[in-house]
Each structure stands twice: as structure tokens, then as C-alpha cells.
Amino acid sequence: MIDQNIRSLAQKLRKKELSSVELTQDYLKRINEIDPQFNSFITVTDELALAQAQAADNAIANGETSPLTGIPVAHKDLFCTEGVLTTCASKILHNFVPPYESTVTARIKAAGAVALGKTNMDEFAMGSSNENSYFGAVKNPWNINTVPGGSSGGSAAAVAAGLCVAATGTDTGGSIRQPASFCGITGLKPTYGRVSRFGMIAYASSLDQAGPMARSAEDCAYLLQSFAGFDTNDSTSSETATEGYLASIDSPLAGLKIGLPKEYFGDGLDSDVAQVIMDAVKEFEKLGATVQEISLPNLNLSIPSYYVIAPSEASSNLSRFDGVRYGHRCEDPKDLLDMYMRTRSEGFGKEVQKRIMVGTYALSEGYYDAYYVKAQRIRRLIKEDFVKAYQEVDVIMGPVAPTTAFGLGEKTTDPVAMYLEDIYTLSVNLAGIPAMSVPAGFSNGMPVGLQIMGNYFDEAKLLNVAHKFQQATDWHTQTPSLVKGA
Amino acid sequence: MSLEKQDVQKIAHLARLSLSDQDAEEYQHSLSSVLDLVEQMQSVDTDGVEPLSNPLEATQRLREDVVTEQDRREAFLSNAPQTESGLFLVPQVID
């Protein structure tokens, strides 16, 4: 079943060729047998999933269906799920069972999907390799000696290994697109505000955005359709109306104007990755698109500004983890300050503590203007680069990351080398535009993702562009040899 | 930018983190390298550029000042490490 898409599975379910209970049992069996080598799940909710599958079968029997009814999905472990352990891959939340449901997971549940469990991730979504999890690193299904990317690495690996049909992810600086690229799946980071952040455990509030991860753009469209849109529970949720993401997915690409930023193809980009990207762009030309070089001159500034803004917001957001209301608390604190300090040091991993301290420093008296305000001024310059570019082109294309998936442990001792991996993705979050990663080929047997960036609220266009590419190519249908026939 | 060990301990205190001497030394190097990276910003002239805190430049939406939430005290207390009589219990604050 792992090569089936949502549309064909939904048809089989409606025609009673397959029941959701059978489908769910099949996926739970695969998780049980295959996942120990990848570690992509933190929690598997067998009983709940089978109960939801039975409910889906009942709904189908009563003719009450949506395209997602009975489809098994997985959720990144930073979405609060009522009554289901939600850890954010952190010791400080290792025992947290939320009393409420995030809007994203609630809407997917309301659409009738079956939740198989919660996927592994970098702790508090901080990382580009999925090595910063209290529950251990995730391994890339294409090569278990390499990382799956982060922070939604568990979701990406689970989809790539055929352990769920689709999954949720979140993207603060590339955390959907980079793992999608490394694992050879399709992932979409929507426009900031397009999807509610209610019930998502916050990392950096002005950058975080939830999105779908699946094998194809069409499957991403089904998922996005279910959870995008305004939410009164999120004060930053956009009131801009959603589009029908499947209605225009098959539109021809003739006349599409593609911009290639020259800054994305300079030093640091692996030559094989560059070749894959250029081959993909040629495919778009065959589909009727035209290509022109553009410039995003402030690309290099996205790294320093991101690594001030994101940690600053994180230092504020993570101040709520104090051992008072939920999560880990240290043993026998001698006073309140001792409780705060030991609880947080014991509960947070090293990368999280580092980013909290960077943020605390940037927001402290005497440094606020030089760091935080300066970074926000640069953020505007980055946004203006995109606004200007979209006056000339419809979409922008380039690589997602400078290389394919790197080795486990290869960059853990050099934080700056790890941060430089995000050079092509960070600016998208700073500007708030939507962007996708689409499988575009391989380099030395490892997947390479093509990044497609769109104008504000142009998710339908992005999905259309990605879908037409996937109709003309078969990169998105490739399966890792480790999981074939398993 | 190079931080001293006592700078790291001061930042850790502000962040309510407790660091051992060995941890402080480790963070001294990694925090300094991150701050070196972000120093690149200082070479850019941003005079007259308005800071951008929300990518959509949206302002905070307000709701009507009416109570909409239900009393869920039991549910919210259920995750707390220590409670007593319906309240969160913490170490003594005032002698």
C-alpha cells in the first residue's frame, strides 16, 4: 500500500475494496516492524488509531466522507493532541498529556483521518538534523548512516519509509522543506498565518508555520485543504480566504515565469545538487515555462538575522517551562529560583539551552538595538527583495539545501556549519512567503529536493507547479531500498 | 565576539539556567561562534529601515471582552508536578 496516494486509497475505501481498519492495521504492523531502525515515532497510538479507523469505516458506510476519511496520518510531536502524550522531543515535556487539541490536528481529525501517532523531531523544533531529540536521533530511510534533516525529520522519515500516508510538520527556518529534501518526499511551508498555530508548541512565533508532508503535491493539497484557514484561537491567523487547492492543481504551466536567484547558485552549493536543480528547471521549460535570472541580494544576511530573531523569540516562549504547571520538575528544590534553574537545565537539551542564551543575550539591556532591532531591520530588506522579485516572476526556484543528507554526527560539534545548511530556506520564513520542496533527482543515491517559492498566499500556484512536475517525472514515487517490500 | 566564562554564567542566570563550570566553558565557545556569525549584520547600513516584526505587518487582533472559556481547572492541574487544594504548589517564596 505504500505506493498508493490519498486519492486512490480514498476510492478503495469508498468502494469497500479495503477498510480503514485493515489499512490502519497494515501501517501499525509496518511501524512495529520497520521503525526501530529509523526511530521516526515517539508515540504510536495503536488503540486510538484503530478506534478512529472503525469510526471512519462507519462514516463511509453511512456515506459521510471527505477525501481524508480513513487515511492514516502521523503528527509531529509538537502539536498538542488531547489525551495523547506530546513531548516536543524534550525531557521537560516527557510526561505532558495536553488537555486540549491543536487546530491543525483537530481539523484533520474532523476530516476523518486516522492518527497513527506522534513523530520524532529536534527538541522544540531547534535543529537541522533531527539529532537533538531527547528520544534519540532519527535515521534517514535512504541511508541509516545519514540524518533525515530537521526539525520535522521524524515526519519526513515516516512518510519516506511508508509508515504513514502523510504527516504534519512545522517550518520555522526550513524544518519541513529540508527534511523533505533529504528524505525524497514533498513538503509545503504555507504563507505565515495561512495555518493556525493554536496548540503548536511555540519556538519562534513570528516564523513558525505548520504544513503538510507527503509523497506528492496532490497529497499535500488534500492535507492542506483540511487544515488551512482562519482560526479565532490564533491572533496571528490570517483572515484571507483559502483557495481550493485541488481545483487548479492540474492547470497547464504555459506562460509560467520562473526566477532563478543567482545567489542560490554560488559558492557552497554542491555541483551534483546544482545539476539536479538545473535539470528540473529544464523540465519546467518543456512544460511551457520561461526562466530568467533574478537577484535576492540579502540572502547571506538571512542567517545572522534568523539566528537573532528566532532565539530571541524562543527565549521568551520557553520561559513558560518553569516546572510549576506541567512537565519535569527537579528533585527537592531549596527555593523557587533553584527550582526554575535546575528544572530548566535538567529538562532542556544543549541546543535548546544555547538558543535560549543567545536570545537572552540579544534581548538584554545594551544589546537589544544592536542585535534584535537590527535583525528586524534586515528582515525587512529580505522581504523587500522577494516583493521586488515577484513583480517580475510567478515563482522562484532553487535548491533546498547545499548538499544531500549529511552523516550522523558530522556537524554536531560545529554549530555554525550546521546553521549554514539553512542558507536557502531561512529567508522564506523571515519574509513569510510559502515554499515547497519537491523531489527532483538523486546525487550518489541520496534524494535532492527542488525548492519552489511563491508569492504571499499563492499555495494553490505552488501545488499546481509541483503537481505538473510530478506528472512529468517519477522522482516522488521512488522508494528507499531499505523499506521496499518490507 | 568572544565571551568570558563569567559572561556566560551571567546570561545563564538571566535565562534561569544553571550551568556547571564545564558547561559554561563549552557554551563559551559555541555562544561566541554564534555571536561572531550574527556580527555580520553590523556591516549593513539599515538607517531609515523600519523593523519588521510580523511578516504580514499584521497588528494583533482583539476579541470582545467577554468570558468564553469554561472552568477547566482539574484538566489544567492534571499535568502539574505538585498541587494542593486546587492550586499549583511551589517551594516557599516568603519566609
Domain that holds residue B22: 5-42
Backbone CA torsion sign across A454, A270, A152, A330: negative
What single-letter DSSP state applies at residue A148?
-
Pick from A188, A198, A187, A189: which is nearest to A230 by CA?
A198
**C-alpha–C-alpha distance, residues A264 and A435, integer Å:** 15
Q: Work out the end-to-end distance of chain A between its first and last CA atoms, rounded to an integer number of angstroms.
A: 11
For B28, name the nearest residue in chain A, comparing CA atoms only.
Answer: A354
Asked if residues A114 and A56 have their Cβ atoms less than 8 Å apart, the reply is yes
* Residue A320, φ and ψ in degrees, nearest 5: -70, -15
Confidence category of residue B8, pLDDT binned at 50, 70, 90: very high
* Higher-pLDDT residue of A322, B59: A322
Tell me, yes or no, whether B51 lies in a domain: no
**What distances in angstroms separate CA A301 from CA A314, A317, A374, A462, one per listed residue?**
20, 24, 11, 25
Query: Which of these, B56, B69, B75, lies nearest to A235 by C-alpha position?
Result: B56
On whether residue A48 sits in a domain, the answer given is yes
Q: Sort A369 into a burial class: Cβ within 10 Å, 0-12 / 13-18 / 19+.
A: exposed
Q: Is A354 among the catalytic positions? A: no
Query: Which residues in chain B are closer than 8 Å to A386, comparing Cβ atoms?
Result: none
Residues of chain B contacting residue A339, judged by C-beta atoms under 8 Å apart: 90-91
The verdict on a CB contact (< 8 Å) between B40 and A377 is: no
Q: Is the pLDDT of residue B83 over 80?
A: yes
Alpha carbon distance A384, A387 (integer Å): 5
- pLDDT < 50: residue spans in chain A: none
Instruction: State whether ipTM is beyond 0.90.
Output: yes
Q: Average pLDDT in the B22-40 region? A: 93
Domain annotation covers residue A136: yes
Digit-coded pLDDT (tens) for A134-149: 999 999 999 999 999 9
Please give the tally of structural domains in chain A.
Answer: 1
Query: A376 CB near a chain B CB, below 8 Å?
Result: yes
Which one of A235, A353, A358 has the shortest CB-CB distance to B34? A358
Task: Please report the pLDDT score of residue A23 as a whole number.
Answer: 98
* Cα–Cα distance for residue pair A81/A108, rounded to 1 Å: 12
| Confidence bin at B79 (pLDDT 50/70/90) | very high
Residues 260-289 of A with CB under 8 A from B: none
- Residue A395: its H or E element: strand A395-399
Q: Considering the candidates A20, A90, A129, A151, report the single residue annotated as catalytic.
A: A151
Phi/psi at A194 (5° precision): -70, -35
**Any domain includes B28:** yes
Neighbours of A67 (CB within 10 A): 21
Give the H or E element holding residue A276: helix A271-286
Smallest Cβ–Cβ distance between B16 and the set A97, A327, A344 belongs to A344
**Cβ neighbours for A430, distance < 8 A, ≥ 6 positions apart:** A207, A302, A305, A306, A309, A379, A382, A383, B55
Does the residue A472 lie in any domain?
no
From CA A468, how far away is CA A466, in angstroms rounded? Answer: 6
Angle between helices A103-110 and A217-227 (to 10 degrees): 100
Is residue A438 within a helix (H) or strand (E), and if so which, with residue range?
Answer: strand A435-443
CB contacts of A371 in chain B (<8 Å) are 38, 41
User: Is residue A403 in a domain?
Assistant: no
CA-nearest residue to A209 within chain B is B55
How many Å is the maximal CA-CA distance in chain B?
A: 58
pLDDT, tens digit (0-9, with 9 covering 90-100), for A452-478: 999 999 999 999 999 999 999 999 999
* Grid cell for residue A95: 510526561
Burial class (CB in 10 A: 0-12, 13-18, 19+), A254: exposed
Is the sign of the CA dihedral A82, A459, A125, A148 positive or negative? positive
Q: How many domains does chain B have?
A: 1
Domain span holding position A50: 6-255
Residues of A in contact with B49 (CB under 8 A): 377-378, 380-381
**Chain A nearest CA to B26, separation (Å):** 10
CA distances, A198 to each of A272, A371, A399, A479, B69 (Å): 40, 29, 31, 34, 15
3-state secondary structure of A352: helix
**Residue A235 within a domain:** yes
Among the listed residues A358, A435, A411, the one whose alpha carbon sits nearest the alpha carbon of residue A128: A411
- Position A485 scores a pLDDT of 63
Indicate whether A265 belongs to any domain. no
Peptide bond into A302 cis (omega under 30): no
How confident is the model over A296-338, as pLDDT tens digits?
999 999 999 999 999 999 999 999 999 999 999 999 999 999 9
Q: Which residue among the candidates A19, A40, A76, A216 is catalytic per the annotation?
A: A76
Q: What is the pLDDT of residue A311?
A: 98
Tell me whether residues B56 and A354 touch, CB distance under 8 A.
Answer: no
DSSP letter string over A313-342? Answer: HHHHHGGG-SSSSSS---SS-SSHHHHHHH
Among the partner-chain residues B44, B58, B78, the one whose CB lies closest to the CB of A99 is B78
pLDDT band at B80 (very low <50, low <70, confident <90, very high): very high
Say if B71 falls within a structural domain. Answer: no
Quick check: A316 contacting B, CB < 8 Å? no
CATH code: domain of residue A232: 3.90.1300.10
Domain presence at residue B30 = yes
- Match 544543549 to its residue by C-alpha cell: A350
Are the CB atoms for A79 and A152 separated by under 8 Å?
A: no
CA distance A6 to A71: 7
A32 interfaces chain B, CB cutoff of 8 Å? no
Note whether B52 contacts A380, CB cutoff 8 Å. Answer: yes
Min CA distance, A333 vs chain B (Å)? 7
Q: How far is A104 from chain B (nearest CA, A)?
A: 20
Angle between helices A217-227 and A459-472 (to 10 degrees): 160
Pairwise CA distance, residues A89 & A96, whole Å: 11
**Alpha-carbon distance A396 to A376, whole Å?**
23
Closest to A81 (Cα-Cα) out of A111, A52, A101: A101
User: What CATH number is given to the structural domain containing B12?
Assistant: 1.10.20
Q: Examine residue B20 and state whether it is found in any structural domain, yes or no.
A: yes
pLDDT, residue A39, reads 98
Q: What are phi and psi of A212, to 5 degrees?
A: -90, 150
List alpha helices for A150-270, DSSP H: 153-160, 177-183, 217-227
In whole angstroms, give the CA distance from residue A213 to residue A186: 6
Fill in the DSSP letter of residue A264: G
Asked if A35 and A29 count as a contact pair (C-beta separation under 8 A), the reply is no
Query: DSSP states of A7-76 as a string?
Result: HHHHHHHHTTSS-HHHHHHHHHHHHHHHGGGT--EEEE-HHHHHHHHHHHHHHHHTT---TTTT-EEEEE
In a domain, B62, yes or no: no
In a domain, B32, yes or no: yes
A383 with B52: Cβ contact below 8 A: yes
Report d(CA B56, CA A148) in Å as an integer.
Answer: 31
> Which residues from A are below 8 Å from B13, CB to CB?
341
| Residue at B26 is within a domain | yes
Q: Nearest Cα to A486, choosing from A160, A22, A48, A149? A: A160
**How many helices, marked H, and strands, marked E, lie in chain A?**
16, 11
Residue B54 C-beta-side C-alpha neighbours within 13 Å: 11
Asked whether residue A429 is domain-assigned, the answer is no
A219 found inside a domain? yes
